[in-house]
Each structure stands twice: as structure tokens, then as C-alpha cells.
Amino acid sequence: MASRRNLSMLMALVGIVIFFTLHPRGAHFLSAQNLSNLSIELSITATLALGMLLVLLPGMIDLSVGSGVGLLGGLACVLIIRYGWAAPLALGTATAVAVAIWWLMGTLITRQRVPAFIVTLGGLLVFQGAHWLVIANTTVPVTPGGVENVYALLTTYYFSPASGFAIAAAVGGCLVVAELRHRAARRRHGFKLEDGEVAFLRLFVSLQGLLLLILTMNAHKGLPLALVILGTVILLVQVATQRTPWGRHLYAIGGNEEAARLSGVPVERTIVVAFTLLGLITALTGFLQTAYGGYSTTTVGKLMELDAIAACVIGGTSLKGGRGTVMGVVFGALIMAVLLNGMTLLAVSPETKLIARGLVLGVAVWMDVYLARRAAAA
């Protein structure tokens, strides 16, 4: 099932890239500048999708993150521009607000037994209204400035070519060490080892892809800070879901909540922590999205919750919980980012964009159900 999904995802991505590249108005799709912009857009989409993964794994859902992105990004903007707060203080305050709100929603869902769909649907409406009130239905700019404007630098700062290669070397070294430690641990516990040549080939391809990424980014302005932020989020979510008891609890709850509860899994606490971390990631996404657009307005964050859910489902995350991987979500987010970037480059109308996003989400859910049935039948 996983191999079929991976192959279909890869074919879909290749097909989308070929279409936009060969389109008469897509001559600049593979240019260094557009790929750099695409990397920032991917960083925003994938960051939010990774947060969504945390609540989908235990069988929950959050429809409010798109509105939350707009609200939190707008709140930080208003504190900086209208009240003269220092950017770090404004960003920290908005983050604290996000953590408190999502902790409250998680607590309401678990202790009061209110369906997550209803709670977060209400949150969607409340956050959207609060966003409009905060910015007073106007456009609040993110004024680019010097180093002190941390907010603007989130999507406008690029590492120098030398720094990019240094970061790539550090990441590559970590990948090699992680692979060696993983193989040593499996050997020590008597588990079956993957063929050495296959492991080497996978690692070699990963390092080659990393080098190609740095070369491509350096052809424009350098490695974007937003992409480094995404890499950090990927690492943290990967470790949290795969290397901690809390992560294993997420999968156990999504697989069978009652069995997990009888096994001693702290179901309520696990879900509340998942929502709290989603709030933190939503705040970060709000800062990135608002900084990338250069302003906060009433449309910031609109429908981003659907893009996040679609990225998760495309990447193999089950809406029923218990299944999903970090790299699958990132790949799903890449497909969504490429699709949206290409349509923007071709000046596709907003109506067509909405139709395309809806079709992608529908096809992704259908594929999840279809492959699950095939696996069950087998």
C-alpha cells in the first residue's frame, strides 16, 4: 500500500512539474528565482501541515488553523506597527496567546467530550472575526527594516552561499550519523537489517538532493531562512512522533483509543499536548505567511486549513488516525505548494484555484479510502 501511494505521489508531482514547465506561460517555472519563492511557500504550507499531523494521528482534526494563521500574524503586526512593540516581544506574545487558546480547545475536546470538528469549526469563525477586529478591517503592513525587524526577516533573509554549504554539510553529517546509529541499534537488538547497498543508495540520493537544493538556492540569493525553519520543524516533529513515548501514544490512540486507554496511555493529556503544539506551530505559520505577503489583511490564512489537511492525506496520513509520517506530509505539502505556485505563475483565476484545491483534496481522500480497502481485502 505504501509503495503504491509513494509511486502515485511521485508520478503526480512529476506530471504537475512537466505541465507547468511546458506551458507557454511557464517558462520561468524552473528558474532559480521561482524555485526560491517555491521553497518559501513550501516552508509555510509544510510547517502548518506538520502541526496538523499531530492532531490527525490520534484521530482528531482542526478546522481553525487557517483563521488562526491570520489572527496570530495580524496580532503581531498590530503590536509592532500600531503600538510600537519590539518584534521579538510581539511575536512572543502572539505565540503565548496561541498556546493558551489551543490548550483550551484541546482541554474542551478531551474533558467535555465535545467533538473536535465542532470545537475547531467554532474556532474558525471566532478567530476570523477576531482577526478582522484586531486589524480593524484594514491592511497592516509588515514594514521591512533593519536587523531589528525580526518579523520581516523571517521570509526576506537569505544565508550566504558559504553558510548554505556549511548548513548542508552539517545536515548531511547528521543524516550519516543517524543512519549508522539506527543500523547499530537494530543490530544490537537482533532486528533484521536493511540491505547495506539499499541503505547507502538511499543516503547517497538524499545527500545529492541536499546538494542540488543548496546549489539551486545559491543561484538566486542563497538559502532562505524560512527553509531552515521548516527543516527545524521537520526534525522536531520527527523526533517527537518517532522517538518519544508521547509520539507512540499518538499512534496508539489513533489506532484504537479504547485499547490505548486500557493499556495505560494518558489519552486526554496526549491529545491536549498535541493541540497545544499545533497552536505553537500555527503561530509560527502565521508569522511566516504574513511576513511573506508583507502585510496582514482579512484574507491572510484563508483556506490554509484545507491545504494542510490535503498535504497530510496526500502524504498518507489517515483521517481516522493511527497512520502518517513526517516525510509523507512534507511530500504532500510539496505537491500542494508546486500546484499553487504554478497556478499563480500562470495567472490562473481565483475561481479556478479554488476548484483545483477542492479536486486535489477530494482525490486525496478518495485515494486514502481506496488504498485502505485494497489493503484490507488483501
Residue 181 within any structural domain of the chain? no
Residue 191 within any structural domain of the chain? no
Residue 230 within any structural domain of the chain? yes
**CA-wise closest residue to 336 among 375, 305, 297:** 305
Residue 351 φ then ψ, to 5°: -65, -45
Mean pLDDT of all residues belonging to the chain: 90
Q: Report pLDDT for 146.
A: 43
Range of the domain at 334: 2-160+222-377
Q: Report pLDDT for 144.
A: 55
**CA-wise closest residue to 144 among 280, 357, 292, 329:** 292
For 284, the grid coordinates are 509560527
Instruction: List Cα–Cα distances, 302 to 151, 299, 354, in angstroms.
Output: 20, 5, 11
- Residues 6 or more apart whose CB falls under 8 angstroms from that of 350 comprise none
Residue 347 φ then ψ, to 5°: 60, 40
- Mean predicted confidence (pLDDT) in 196-216: 90
Residue 273 within any structural domain of the chain? yes
- Say which CATH number the domain at 338 has: 1.10.3470
- Mean predicted confidence (pLDDT) in 137-154: 76
Percentage of the chain with pLDDT > 90?
66
> Among 138-152, 186-200, 266-280, where is mean pLDDT lowest?
138-152
Whole-number Å distance between alpha carbons of 359 and 372:
20
For the cut 50, the answer to whether the pLDDT of residue 142 exceeds it is yes
- Mean predicted confidence (pLDDT) in 183-202: 84
Residue 19 or residue 50, greater confidence: 50
Q: DSSP for 194-244, please give it.
A: PPHHHHHHHHHHHHHHHHHHHHHHHTTT-EEHHHHHHHHHHHHHHHHHHSS
- Mean predicted confidence (pLDDT) in 171-185: 89
Q: Residues 333-346: pLDDT tens digits?
A: 999 999 999 998 88
Q: At 355, is the secondary structure helix, strand, or coil?
A: helix
Q: Residues 207-252: pLDDT tens digits?
A: 999 999 999 999 999 999 999 999 999 999 999 999 999 999 999 9
Q: Give residue 374's pLDDT band: very low, low, confident or very high (50, 70, 90).
A: confident
**CA-wise closest residue to 61 among 312, 239, 333:** 312
Residue 329 within any structural domain of the chain? yes
Q: Give residue 187's pLDDT band: very low, low, confident or very high (50, 70, 90).
A: confident
Per DSSP, 296 falls in state: E
Q: Cα–Cα–Cα angle for 117, 123, 125, nearest 5°?
A: 110
Q: Residues 270-327: pLDDT tens digits?
A: 999 999 999 999 999 999 999 999 999 999 999 899 999 999 998 889 888 999 999 9
- Mean predicted confidence (pLDDT) in 33-56: 96
Residue 281 within any structural domain of the chain? yes
**CA-wise closest residue to 273 among 61, 99, 65, 70:** 99
Q: Report pLDDT for 366.
A: 80
For 120, the grid coordinates are 475547531
For 326, the grid coordinates are 513526517
Residue 242 or residue 25, greater confidence: 242
- Mean predicted confidence (pLDDT) in 162-190: 90
Q: Give residue 26's pLDDT band: very low, low, confident or very high (50, 70, 90).
A: confident
Residue 215 within any structural domain of the chain? no
Give the chain's domain count.
1
Residue 317 within any structural domain of the chain? yes
Q: Report pLDDT for 4.
A: 67
Segment of 24-33, 136-145, 333-342, 345-354 carrying the highest mean pLDDT:
333-342
